[in-house]
Amino acid sequence: MDFLANLAEGFIGLFNAGGATFMGLVTGIIPTLVVLITFVNSIIMIVGEEKVEGFAQKMTGNIITRYTVFPVIAMFFLTNPMAYSFGKFLEEKYKPAFYDAAVSFCHPITGLFPHGNPGELFVWLGISSGITELGLSIAGLAVRYFLVGVVVILIRGIVTEKITFMMIARKEVN
């Protein structure tokens, strides 16, 4: 009988934990995202959707800026996770690669711009604390982390784009 009682307590405990997590989101990130989405949509309306889309087309016109400058701007200005919404300005075929590039830049931006992904700041702080203990400057590390991140997102964006194109071509054949 105790086994069934413990099983029932564990079962409802799972939902209680889920409810607590949900309440944390409702009072934490969700209002922030709603305000940020409203702000970005307002800016787009004020500037004009045509101008914003024109700028995005220029930024994503070549493969280099599409997977370096565009994701960096998105992560810097909109931060994680709102940065992924910049994908709406891309053609459908480029969206998977943009997402891959943007999500891969979540950590490298934190060394220079902690606001870009504050939820993952502990990664940067853990790495930089070791450098600090050695008596070295973390400024150089932050710059290198950022630059290597840009190279990595470029590679990931290009590779993911090629894979996406192969999958699209395969689907069209079938």
111 and 38 fall within a common domain: no
**pLDDT of 21 strictly over 90:** no
**pLDDT of 32 strictly over 80:** no
pLDDT at 46: 92
Range of the domain at 6: 1-47
Number of domains in the chain: 2
What is the model's pTM?
A: 0.72
Please report, for residues 18, 113, 118, 149, the alpha-carbon distance to residue 136 in angstroms, rounded to integers and kept in the order given: 43, 20, 24, 21
116 and 165 fall within a common domain: yes
pLDDT at 65: 94
95 and 152 fall within a common domain: yes
pLDDT at 13: 84
Q: What's the average model confidence in pLDDT over 50-55?
A: 84
* Greater model confidence, 161 or 120: 161
85 and 147 fall within a common domain: yes
pLDDT at 29: 64
53 and 4 fall within a common domain: no
Tens-place pLDDT, residues 59-117: 888 999 999 999 999 998 888 888 888 888 888 999 999 999 999 999 899 888 888 88
6 and 54 fall within a common domain: no
134 and 66 fall within a common domain: yes
* Greater model confidence, 3 or 92: 92
pLDDT at 171: 85
20 and 71 fall within a common domain: no
Q: Residue 101's closest CA among 144, 173, 156, 59?
A: 156
